[in-house]
Structure 1
Amino acid sequence: MAIIPEVDCVMKKTLIVLIFCLGIPLLTGVKFVPIISSPLFSDDHDSRTTMVTQKQFVSTATFSAIGDILLHSQVYQDAEKEDGSYSFTSMLEHVAPYLGESDITFANQETMIGGKELGLSSYPSFNSPVEIAENLQSAGIDIAGVANNHTLDRGEKAVQAGLAHYDRIGLPYVGAYKNEIDANTSRIIGANGIDFGFLSYTYGTNGIPVPAGKEYLVNIISFEKMRRDIENIRKEADVTVVSMHWGVEYERLPNEEQKKLASFAAAQGADIIIGHHPHVLQPIEWIEQKNGRKSLVIYSLGNFLSGQKGLYKNIGGIFSLSVTKNETGRTQNITIHSPRFLPTIVTNQNGADFKVLPLREVDLIRNDEILSHMYQWLKK
């Protein structure tokens, strides 16, 4: 039996699926490379070489992440249709091809999607249309992070309504949960024989207390919880992705607390750390352990779609990387490599016709400045 996360006859970028195909094991996206070793066996009468062949399995998957989906009233009003439903498709159509390029793409859905039945609302207490989830999914998003300072804006009712909608459309979420069972269910997504495990945390909830006994409603940053969660998910996943809602708004460089948390997560075994909350971009950096193991962190992905005003608040991007798994016998090696970044910008015409565009199509000079800012620590 072969583990086949992606084949032509099933949906792209799916959870692990087990199938038989004419009794022949198939593994899409995996190279088979014979490795030859030659131990010598000899005695007084004979000397011969026995060839022992081990197969080397080499597979590669790509991962991307985007920043804050922060739906202010002017954004969802622009998305409203004549029948009272909402569509954000036109806002995302210019970047959807890039979102769909990677095997797995993560988005930070910063506003809870309680739906219009609860009454839509904007800053400072957000509640958003459910349609954004389908539109993101159609554009290429495979999992939504929902642990942030706005998770509890409209209370438990909005959280439960939003999570139920994610379940209905089959879009995995991480960082806020329906109950303890949901919270203890690992978020694992497979691509090309590589399993990615997801965790998500926030620094707080804007002073709104988490209901006693319902800590599962949102993951609050805790060193002990992070240590335990990372340890557990590493038992199931090849790659551990940790989303952190942290930092100071509108600061273009991370503070010491962010660096401390990133170093801690990396030391526990996080492979990829993606940051949110500052609403502006912060650089990418490698974190290397004494044993040579390296983790990759992007301190802030900025705003991907929002109604915030100001140049750097309108700029976000698509952070991408590649992961290669090399298996020989019982030995497995995971390599994170080839980080890259596509800057994006939110445009609008007097508060209408919102669109997310590749920045290079709007302002090539600013695009180069942003790339220099994001890569500045990768050059060291």
Structure 2
Amino acid sequence: MEEKDLKYKMKVWTKKHKKKAPFHSMVLAALLAVPFFGHQWIDKPDMPEDTRPDDVDFRISMVGDMMLGRHVRDAAVRSGEPIGRVFDYVTPYFEQSDYVTGNFENPVIDAEDPEVESVMEDFELRNKDIHLYADKGAEEALVDAGFDSVNLANNHIMDYGNLSLEETLEHMEKVDLDLLGIGRALDPAEGMFEEEETLTDAGEIHYFDANGRNVAILGFTDVFVQGYSASEYVGGVLTNAGLGVLQSRIREAKQQADVVMVHTHWGDEYQVGSNDTQETLAYLMTDMGADVIIGHHSHVLEPITRVHIEKDPDDPESEDKTSIVMNSLGNFVFDQGWSRTKDSTLAQLDFLQDGGAELSFIPMQISDTRPRETDGILKPFRDYRIFRTLRKELDDELWRMEDGRLVIDLKKAGVIEG
């Protein structure tokens, strides 16, 4: 009897479920779609209108790794939009900045040229595993977005050897963009090159005026493949093989500038924390005169650190030296899928009208290869994860939260005096 009752109940339940099955399937499909398409439904970003407070006298925006090839290119093709689409949601921040810089992680190559294409195919067969490049036109996208300089001293800019160097310089020297850490030589002898070759030195210091403050910026990489290093007679990038040149250039910049900034490509990929080499190099650059170190390479955010070197009590001419080190700003435009590689930030160095200086961090999330400020119902979780990583090694008195940003008082930190 009980068995018949059970069978009867099962038939009734099945009959009812068949009537509701389409509705249940729709609900289940919607729930399953959230992880894949949720950013389009619950994270629809609003374009910021006013991103700059009235008390900011000069603003420098800094970002991490940018790669405009591979699946980033594919996403642009699928959308029917130009490659510059990747900057759509961050252009307002750049427009309200006075200077914008970042790490450009690939060469610019005209791959449609048959001769170039054949060289690329041959190089991929006999060299490193991963070869990145962006199509010709990427340099214009950077300028249109508002970039003033890009660091090219990294481990992918010469993925196709000398072809990478020549193609990248050919295309990028045609636009109004300072190229950091790359050149046709390193510390070349006078008269070594023809006069029309304007970019000759991979260790060149670039200067810009920040409303009365002279700021110096240069680029360097500790991560590279054999054959990448520039030398007196060979083009390439500034690597730790030219560490002596880096030291002398930072010293030179410190004598000429009020603030010295160094793009540094270093660290271990996907590791949320600096290694011993980073700490050693940060100390060395601080001792030479670096004030702000802009780190990248690991593809994830890393903690910000403060390096302080006390003056030598036996040397009356010595003085304290302090720098702020952004060990890694993470990815900014990339196609990697792990959640940590999609956490990003836009760093902004503000010189204030009252003479102070602050370094602030806007939480960003990469979606469909494009960075944008975190938004939607997941914003609190994402912001907490981003800010917890960035401030992990900072003393509590050096940072504060203000208007959804992590803010560091550089005057209080002893990095930049008013």
Work out whether the TM-score is over 0.5: yes
SS at match of 2:109: coil
Rg larger in 1 or in 2?
A: 2
> Which among 207, 219, 242 is matched to residue 238 of structure 2?
219
Q: 2: distance between equivalents of 1:230 and 1:72?
A: 32
Is 2:333 the partner of 1:305? yes
The aligned counterpart of 2:94 is 99
> In the TM superposition, what whole-angstrom CA distance separates every residue of 1:316-369 from its partner, at most 9, and x where no partner exists?
21111223699xxxxxxx96x312111222212xxxxx4222124573111222
The aligned counterpart of 1:62 is 59
The correspondence of residues 231-380 of structure 1 with structure 2, limited to 5 A, is 231-290=251-310, 291-323=319-351, 337-348=357-368, 354-361=369-376, 363-364=378-379, 365-380=381-396
> In the TM superposition, what whole-angstrom CA distance separates every residue of 1:268-288 from its partner, at most 9, and x where no partner exists?
100110111100000112222
Percent identity over the alignment?
Answer: 24
Letter in 1 for 2:74: Q
- Hey, which of these two has a bigger chunk of helix by percent? 2
Larger mean Cα displacement after TM superposition, 368-377 or 119-128? 119-128
- Hey, which of these two has a bigger chunk of strand by percent? 1
Is 2:183 the partner of 1:164? no
Cα offset, 1:203, TM superposition: 1.6
Q: 8 Å contact 2:180–2:204 — kept in the other structure?
A: no
Letter in 1 for 2:200: D
The aligned counterpart of 2:37 is none
The aligned counterpart of 1:26 is none
**CA separation of 1:215/1:297 partners in 2, compared to 1, >3 Å: closer, same or farther?**
farther
Q: 1: distance between equivalents of 2:339 and 2:206?
A: 35
Q: 1: distance between equivalents of 2:352 and 2:288?
A: 20
SS at match of 2:208: strand
Is 2:137 the partner of 1:137? no
The aligned counterpart of 1:76 is 73
Q: 8 Å contact 1:87–1:132 — kept in the other structure?
A: no
Q: 8 Å contact 1:151–1:205 — kept in the other structure?
A: no
Cα offset, 1:208, TM superposition: 4.1
Q: 8 Å contact 1:194–1:325 — kept in the other structure?
A: no
Cα offset, 1:157, TM superposition: 2.2
The aligned counterpart of 2:411 is none
The aligned counterpart of 1:190 is 209
Q: 2: distance between equivalents of 1:376 and 1:271?
A: 20
Cα offset, 1:379, TM superposition: 3.1
The aligned counterpart of 1:329 is none
**Structure 2: segments with no counterpart, 5+ residues:** 1-54, 189-198, 311-318, 397-418
Cα offset, 1:296, TM superposition: 1.2
Is 2:218 the partner of 1:203? no
SS at match of 1:343: strand
SS at match of 2:280: helix
Cα offset, 1:158, TM superposition: 2.0
SS at match of 1:188: strand
Q: 8 Å contact 1:115–1:127 — kept in the other structure?
A: no
SS at match of 1:153: coil
Q: 2: distance between equivalents of 1:215 and 1:258?
A: 27
Q: 2: distance between equivalents of 1:273 and 1:209?
A: 22
Q: 2: distance between equivalents of 1:346 and 1:82?
A: 16
Q: 1: distance between equivalents of 2:377 and 2:67?
A: 22
TM-score, normalised with respect to structure 2: 0.67
**CA separation of 1:210/1:373 partners in 2, compared to 1, >3 Å: closer, same or farther?**
closer
Q: 8 Å contact 2:161–2:228 — kept in the other structure?
A: no
Q: 1: distance between equivalents of 2:159 and 2:294?
A: 23
Q: 8 Å contact 2:143–2:176 — kept in the other structure?
A: no
**CA separation of 1:251/1:325 partners in 2, compared to 1, >3 Å: closer, same or farther?**
same
The aligned counterpart of 1:13 is none
Q: 1: distance between equivalents of 2:96 and 2:286?
A: 27
Q: 8 Å contact 2:207–2:214 — kept in the other structure?
A: yes
Number of matched pairs: 308
- What's the Cα RMSD here? 2.8
Q: 8 Å contact 2:181–2:204 — kept in the other structure?
A: no
Q: 8 Å contact 2:228–2:237 — kept in the other structure?
A: no
